[in-house]
Structure 1
């Protein structure tokens, strides 16, 4: 029922976008304006709450609980684990916005700063760190940790609905549970489709820079079609082969590209930029986390921060399920510190190198990147690379990296969507994965036709609102389950911090 209902809802949306793209674009624009204007405060507080919740669990007595049997060891090496969760969680977006976001903030800064000044450049990197740092990974951690705990320690199927058993009991197997799973699938499809659209647009820009391919929707649709065939082939090979190989490839390509820009760019300036920006981010973390502009009516926060928080939430069921699947055997503390810390530091380094190089050129009077960003943000990265030594080679590496991230994200999403719509099956059937692979590509096409990049952003914001409520429920449910692992404290009784295996619920999975 979950599979058929989800496919029917999404197919109706695809038909709307293909048959009446202008109507879909208008409706999406109105829905996004209402959502960001009405629930901006809610998104900020909810995401800050997820971050605080993760910090509490990591350093509480629950941090030693293992996601699996007490003697179980991780399935994947630490390096492969980092590579897979990073590729699934940040890939295309990080490459797309690595130059474009800092330069966009430099041209149109927040808080009434004067554009194109050193102060605007400083704020541009601080906000880029904020949008790609701890907060998105806290969102992913809430979903991933809940699923991993209930699946690997409590023996539940790998479904988001089953994380609600402490709150709903047997009702997780009825209509309420099915509704939760359908909402998770819809959020996943729209969140991933937005990223696939971003990837297609930027691959188009890379091929234009390297080979002169015209930029436009027809070319982007062809790119989506070609990459769809590639990621479907990868999806049929299973998790341990296709996705793991692609993830490791992504890390190598990303490392080569970042090393090239770091060496050929203003190296000492980039080191100083990283240090200063990390300090500014840590110092202003709480202020950034709660910043709205009710007195000035400015829309900057809604267009950037609220969009990002909604995008991460829309991605959370996909990335969360995938991270949970590859994190079996790790303790809660190890899981949270790894998922929050390492990808955030890599993101900081990425923005310092790419954004810092672009801002250094802009402050020195070189307008190539700022002009390209102002005209079309998908060309910002390639405008930067073309101005560096070996620019053609770096452009080729960047295009390959975007394509590889595209395939990895779509491959991972196809697996997760198949898992969610197959009752939590460890390895969904190929026909189910094929169905979801085609559906998410069709949605990316429909969104591009209805509104281009704005349409892609609209889908994420709309899909995130209902799932954010589900995430809050997951926090309460997980905390109740963790408390049950420790005996209650009573007067005169000494309680060990060693957790006890819960006696209620299904037995832990043995595979």
Structure 2
């Protein structure tokens, strides 16, 4: 009963919204897909500039905080030390932020851009370079800046200011005690709904790729009902984990994720075109840095082909990162206590982005080279392409089995972590939400994933991510304003400047 009292209106309102979405998608799949498609088209057509500029501003805001005296503030009290060493912290950042998406798109996205690039002639050397540059751009600094802003605001207000771990309470400097009332409830409902849909997108992709892999390797039918069976089995597994709490089992599984991912990455690097992979990685990083400012603001107003391409790719990703940011932000915030804002942002922006760049260099370069030998790979469904690429690589069957295992473990750990985060958000930031609440959210995520697949496959998934991110984007803006307001007050109170830290520590007044 004690835990039951913690359940807030956020839980009931969010659950009703999720159930309505499930019912509409299940009863009217064609109409649901058409409506989400129209809303998505409206947002990308009339507000694409807004998504692009907001993402660029978020990156600039992170860089500003790194360079400003505010960056010296600690996420916690003066005596707080980081709970995790730097290597473990980087590993958790990487695994939390990308998950199934890395495996799903590792080969498919660079290959898709190679066949249909935004500006270059398809299937040329220029298209090869542009395909990797575009993929790096989508999975790089902008994604981690969006995650970083949400995580930073949560960690700052929770560990330094003593607020509960709720997104609404990061806005107290702007709205005061109104974050405790209906206004705060709306913010937290948006965060919960964005998390449910964002994670459901990932789970839907995982189910599609597991089914695709089983079909390609073992001729298992690639149908909706097989995906239902996959989702049901995985749901049972992650609900068992959620029921047991933060047990040793889920900790071991999280570590296994990293080990399997590293094994797959190194194996493909060695068995694929190794020297070309390393050359493309180096060249494309430089290419991205050279074009970074232009890409960050370009909305292709006079190029209809690129504008359509951006609607399917760039704008979808900016929406996806925003819809995932409450979930990933809460997780990153929890493991970042005791670090300075500067250390936090440098770590969040740089290390996971560079690891993602290398991942896509390995899988993307290998996929494009195999496609040149076997053009039929490009005609396959997206979820089948990775396994078709492995078929052309030595020890390909073994690589496919490793990939399936990695997708499954990412599937389970992502869903398990999301149930915990959703439980926290709907029980006023409780660090131990009731098991019943976690089970309900686990089932809701799986139902949304199945409805999205049923209503239109990947297109419905993409549309849902972009739509739910639109209202949440305004929360992101307010979080940046709120964080700067309070951070600047703290900086002025402590007399922080850009002078070296040693001199600062000597003159630092005691924190209250």
Out of 477, 484, 500, the residue aligned to residue 489 of structure 2 is 484
- In the alignment, which residue of structure 2 is the partner of 1:38? 46
Query: Which residue among 164, 168, 193 is the counterpart of 1:161?
Result: 168
The Cα of 1:249 is off from its aligned counterpart by 1.1
Structure-1 separation of matches of 2:363 and 2:510: 48
Q: Deviations over 1:50-103 (max 9, x none)?
A: 111111112221222111111111222333322222222101111101100000
The answer to whether the Cα contact below 8 Å between 1:235 and 1:242 also exists between their aligned partners in 2 is no
C-alpha distance in 2 between matches for 1:374 and 1:57? 45
1:83 aligns with 2:81: no
Task: Report the alpha carbon displacement of residue 141 of structure 1 after superposing the two structures with TM.
Answer: 0.3
SS in 2 for 1:284: helix
Give the alignment's Cα RMSD to 1 decimal.
1.8
CA displacement at 1:342 relative to structure 2: 1.1
> Where does residue 508 of structure 1 map in the other structure?
none
- Partners of 1:227 and 1:406 within 8 A in 2: yes
Q: Are 2:175 and 1:172 aligned?
A: no
Counterpart mapping for 1:103-114 below 5 A: 103-111=111-119, 113-114=120-121
Tell me the residue number matched to 1:407: 412
Q: Which of 4, 17, 21 is the matching residue for 2:12? A: 4
Rounded to whole Å, the distance in 1 between the matches of 2:134 and 2:464 is: 23
Q: Distance in 1 between matches of 2:85 and 2:246?
A: 14
Q: Which residue does the alignment assign to 1:182? A: 189
Matched, 1:335 2:340: no
Name stretches of at least 5 consecutive residues in structure 2 with no aligned partner.
1-8
2:136 alignment counterpart? 129
Q: For residue 204 of structure 1, what is the aligned residue in structure 2?
A: 211
Return the TM-score normalized by structure 2. 0.94
What do the CA deviations read for 1:88-126 (whole angstroms, capped 9, x no partner)?
A: 210111110110000000111112x21111111110000
Match of 1:142 in 2: 149
Q: Which residue number in structure 2 is paired with residue 66 of structure 1?
A: 74
Alignment-derived partner of residue 310 in structure 2: 301
Give the Å deviation of 1:277: 0.5
Structure 1 window deviating more from structure 2 (160-169 vs 239-248): it is 239-248
Aligned-residue offset at 1:243: 4.6
Q: Supply the distance in 2 between the matched residues of 1:292 and 1:331 (Cα, whole angstroms).
A: 35
Query: How many Å separate the matches in 2 of 1:500 and 1:458?
Result: 51
Q: Which residue of 2 aligns with 1:18?
A: 26
Task: Decide which moves more: 460-469 or 81-90.
Answer: 81-90
> Which residue of 315, 324, 330 corresponds with 2:333?
324
Of stretches 239-248 and 83-92 in structure 1, the one that deviates more from structure 2 is 239-248
The answer to whether the Cα contact below 8 Å between 1:235 and 1:415 also exists between their aligned partners in 2 is: yes
| Equivalent residues of 1:314, 1:464 under 8 A apart | yes
What are the Cα deviations for residues 29-67 of structure 1, in whole angstroms up to 9, with x where unaligned? 111000110110000110011111111112221222111
Give the drift of 1:488.
6.3
Instruction: Tell me, yes or no, if structure 1 residue 220 matches structure 2 residue 221.
Output: no
The question of whether the paired residues in 2 share the 8 Å contact of 1:104 and 1:374 is answered with: no
Task: Provide the rounded CA distance (Å) in 2 between the counterparts of 1:90 and 1:500.
Answer: 41
Inter-partner Cα distance in structure 2 for 1:252 and 1:386: 23
CA distance in 2, matches of 1:49, 1:485: 23
Question: How far apart in 1 are the matches of 2:418 and 2:117?
Answer: 34
Matched residue SS, 2:23: helix
Match 1:436 to one of 441, 455, 463 = 441
Q: Distance in 1 between matches of 2:13 and 2:230?
A: 29
Q: Distance in 2 between the 1:56 and 1:326 partners?
A: 23
Change (3 A) 1:464 1:148: same
d(CA) in 2 for partners of 1:81, 1:69: 19
Residues 351-500 of structure 1 aligned to structure 2 (within 5 Å): 351-362=360-371, 365-368=372-375, 371-487=376-492, 497=504
Match in the other structure for 1:272:
279
2: distance between equivalents of 1:442 and 1:202?
18
Structure 1 residues 232 and 80, CA gap change in structure 2 (3 angstroms): farther
- Identify if the C-alpha distance between structure 1 residues 216 and 372 changes in structure 2 by more than 3 Å, giving closer, same or farther: farther
Matching of residue 292 in structure 1 with residue 303 in structure 2: no
Q: What is residue 506 of structure 1 aligned with on the other side?
A: none
CA separation of 1:339 and 1:247: change in aligned 2, threshold 3 A: farther
Quick one: distance in 2 between partners of 1:154 and 1:478? 11
1:509 corresponds in structure 2 to none
CA distance in 1, matches of 2:459, 2:377: 18
Once the two structures are superposed, residues 4-28 of structure 1 have per-residue CA deviations (whole angstroms, 9 ceiling, x without a partner) of 0100111011011111111111111
Q: Are 1:247 and 1:408, in contact at CA under 8 Å, matched by a contact in 2?
A: yes
